[in-house]
Amino acid sequence: MSSGANTIETLDVTVNGQAHTLAAHGTLADLIGQLGHAAESVATALNGEFVARGERAARVLRYGDKVTCFQAITGG
């Protein structure tokens, strides 16, 4: 689209050890949706730090970020 040398239209992140590409400026919430997960069905961590469900839309991903998605465990 743009011919600028520094324009990045996509970025690569790692999710549970596997490479994924998404649109530049995508958020953690965008990625969860792209992966086909319902927001309430998974817990997430970004670069080893837990990210609450309500904070995902504000967490813009950067090239090389490492995301972990896992089933939330409930019960007792």
pTM score of the predicted model = 0.81
* Contact indicator for 54, 28 with CB cutoff of 8 Å: no
pLDDT in tens, 53-75: 999 999 999 999 999 999 866 66
Query: Which residue has better confidence, 7 or 2?
Result: 7
What pLDDT, on a 0 to 100 scale, did the predictor assign at position 71? 83
Angstrom distance (rounded) from CA 63 to CA 30: 15
What pLDDT, on a 0 to 100 scale, did the predictor assign at position 74? 65
What pLDDT, on a 0 to 100 scale, did the predictor assign at position 1? 43
Fold of 10-71: Ubiquitin-like (UB roll) (3.10.20)
